[in-house]
Amino acid sequence: MTVTRMLTLWCPDWPVVAWGVPLDEPSVVVVANRVVATSPAARGKGISVGQRRRDAQGRCPEVAVLERDTDREARNFEPLASALEAITPRVELGGAGLVSFPTRGPSRFFGGDQKIAARSRDAVAGLLGDRGLVRVGVADGSFAAGLAARSASAVVSNTGASSIDQAVPFVVPPGESREFLAPLPIQTLGRDKLVDVLGRLGLRTLGDFAALSGGDVVGRFGREGQLAHRLACGMDEYAPDLRTPAKDLSATWLFEPVADRIDRCAFAAKALADELHGRLSANGLACIRVAIEAETENGEHHLRLWRHEGALSAAALAERARWQLDGWLQASSSKGKPTSGVARLSLIPDEVVPDSGRQLGFWGGRAQRADQLTRAVARLQDLLGPESVTVPERRGSRAVADQISFVPAAAVDLGAPRLATEAEWVQEPWPGQLPLPAPTKVLNDPVVVDLRDATNKEIGVSGRGELSSEPAIVCLDLVANVGKQIRNRVVAWAGPWPTEERWWDEGTHRRRARLQLELDDGSAHVVVIEHGQWWLEATY
């Protein structure tokens, strides 16, 4: 059984570290108001990943809240990867703050796994200083190496070693990966649905799962089960494929003149990624590791390997190319900043697997529709501007107009489920909302309305929330009927319902009272009075 022996170097809390925040200050990184990474100090205050931002702020009011910035993460990681490149040429970047390389050659050169681990840890820790922690693990297979790196921190806390800064590298002896993995909880596999089923079957540790026969696992759980089982047994997720990918799969872009700006490179990367993806899918392959290589006019090379747990999509490929080049082109001149712009950019599929893919429905499945839609949205944005196409998200509010907010369609993944569109997203009650049914037409720019009583006197609302007299006649200036006033009799009405919102804040204070009106032409409206002026707010 051949498993590549791997070294994994992990910078814990990289999203926080990348922001350059001292670790002893509480800070969190959020995406869509959910905490995705915390500093150790914030964890000490009871903040954990997955919490809502306001919960985190509730536990620790002084916590610094940072938006996730993947570009910055990749750019700041670039110097660390370069430092490791001085040790070995085959450096693979994983997720945030994760990098690994095969140790066979370098550990023989430097005199053993312990030495190479300590050396790479020191190289990176020297660059990071006291800004962040470094954990190193060595084991057979990248999965076990990643877990070994995570265990390295446990070693420190167990022994109580005083070196708070950096933990001792955790080296799993060759051939013992399976034993190392056996006591670890099954959740480390990271496939939520599968792990859930396994847990309910009584398989609590990786060892329990690995003890099952491979054939049974495939029979019961199919391909996904097989991959997970291989991991639990301490093997690589994919059996090493002895077929080297054909050379012609790689895609190359020559810049003429050279590109010294990142947006030109990113544009080329997108086109290359599409081209590469097309070639791969024509061959029924998917790429799980790709080499992105850039070369300048003066012959400087920059090569990085990128790995992804699933298959790399075209968009993901383009994004990684942009990260890599961004880091390289913006490096300081002492750290190997290229002397000229990029002249050639290549995407080379390094490790390919058969694409098991997803069977599309006869009329096109969800993924295909989302793809088509994403393309259509991109075209519309070219035509009308980036903010022109929006998708709705729910917000809590009293006014009907504010219960939906619109975000640019480019900012969301149209193929993935979006939580903010579900009815459960807004959990807080909003007393004072209009009761259902909701009006079907909500005017963003309210229209002036003239509301009068039977004696043609104007109607107001007193400070006690009472109408001066009963409404009888209403004049609407509708947008659709410009210049034409519609004068209608009021058949029935209710209200006024006063709301005084944000009275503590001068700028956003709104003091309004609403009326529902039913008119003799069968239409029904919501009118609102503010500063003595009636406006048409919504129509049923």
Interacting positions 370-409 with other proteins (CB under 8 A): 372-373, 375-377, 379-380, 383-384, 388-394, 400, 403-404, 406, 409
Q: Is 358 in the site for other proteins (CB under 8 A)?
A: no
- Please, which of residues 259-318 interact with other proteins by CB under 8 A? none
443 binds other proteins (CB under 8 A): yes
Q: Which of 192, 428 has the CB closer to other proteins?
A: 428
Q: Which is nearer to other proteins, 87 or 420 (CB)?
A: 420
Q: How far is the CB of 528 from other proteins (least distance, A)?
A: 9
Please give the order of strands across the beta sheet that includes 98-102. 170-171, 135-140, 5-10, 98-102, 92-93, 301-307, 285-296, 342-354, 251-259
Collapsing DSSP to helix, strand or coil, 147 comes out as helix
For residues 322 and 265, the answer to whether their CB atoms sit within 8 Å is: yes
Q: Does 411 bind other proteins (CB under 8 A)?
A: no
Q: Which stretch binds other proteins (CB under 8 A): 43-51, 210-218, 294-302, 366-374?
A: 366-374
Of residues 12 and 495, the one with the C-beta less far from other proteins: 495
Nearer to other proteins among residue 201 and residue 494 (C-beta): 494
In angstroms, the CA 331 to CA 83 distance is: 13
216 binds other proteins (CB under 8 A): no
CA angle 380, 382, 383 (to 5 degrees): 65
- 488 forms part of the interface with other proteins (CB under 8 A): no
CA–CA separation, 142 and 137 (whole Å): 10
**Separation of alpha carbons 188 and 192, rounded Å:** 10
Does residue 423 touch other proteins according to CB under 8 A?
yes
CB contact at 8 A, 138 and 169: yes
Give the per-residue SS3 of 175-195: CCHHHHHCCCEHHHHCCHHHH
**Per CB under 8 A, 431 contacts other proteins:** yes
Q: How far apart are CA 76 and CA 81, in angstroms?
A: 10
User: What is the full DSSP assignment across 399-438?
Assistant: SGGGSEEEEEGGGS-TTS--GGGSGGG--S--TTPPPSSP
The site for other proteins, by CB under 8 A, has a size of: 80
CB 181 to other proteins: min, Å: 38
Residue 536 in the binding site for other proteins (CB under 8 A): no
Q: What is the 3-state secondary structure (H, E, C) of 266-284?
A: HHHHHHHHHHHHHHHHHCC
Q: Is there binding between residue 444 and other proteins (CB under 8 A)?
A: yes
Q: Is 129 in the site for other proteins (CB under 8 A)?
A: no
Q: How far is the CB of 469 from other proteins (least distance, A)?
A: 11
Q: What is the largest CA-CA distance in the chain?
A: 101
Element (H, E) at 59: helix 53-59
Compare residues 36 and 442 and give the one whose CB is closer to other proteins.
Answer: 442
- Contact flag: residue 202 with other proteins (CB under 8 A): no
Binding status of residue 324 toward other proteins by CB under 8 A: no
Residue 489 · residue 452 · CB < 8 Å: no
- Choose between 1 and 423: whose C-beta lies nearer to other proteins: 423
Residue 1 found at the interface with other proteins (CB under 8 A)? no
How many Cα neighbours within 13 Å face the side chain of 307? 18
> Tokens 């009293």 appear where?
398
341 touches other proteins (CB under 8 A): no
- State yes or no: residue 492 binds other proteins (CB under 8 A): yes
- Among 102, 207, 336, 460, contact with other proteins (rule: CB under 8 A): 460
Q: Which range in 22-30, 208-216, 322-330, 492-500 contacts other proteins by CB under 8 A?
A: 492-500
End-to-end CA distance of the chain: 70
Q: Choose, by CB under 8 A, the member of 248, 441, 455, 484 that binds other proteins.
A: 441
Q: Can you tell me which of 43, 115, 344, 418 binds other proteins, judged by CB under 8 A?
A: 418
Distance CA 272, CA 252 (A): 7
CB 15 within 8 A of CB 96: yes
Minimum Å distance from CB 485 to other proteins?
A: 18
Nearer Cβ to other proteins (246/478)? 478
Nearer to other proteins, 58 or 361 (CB): 361
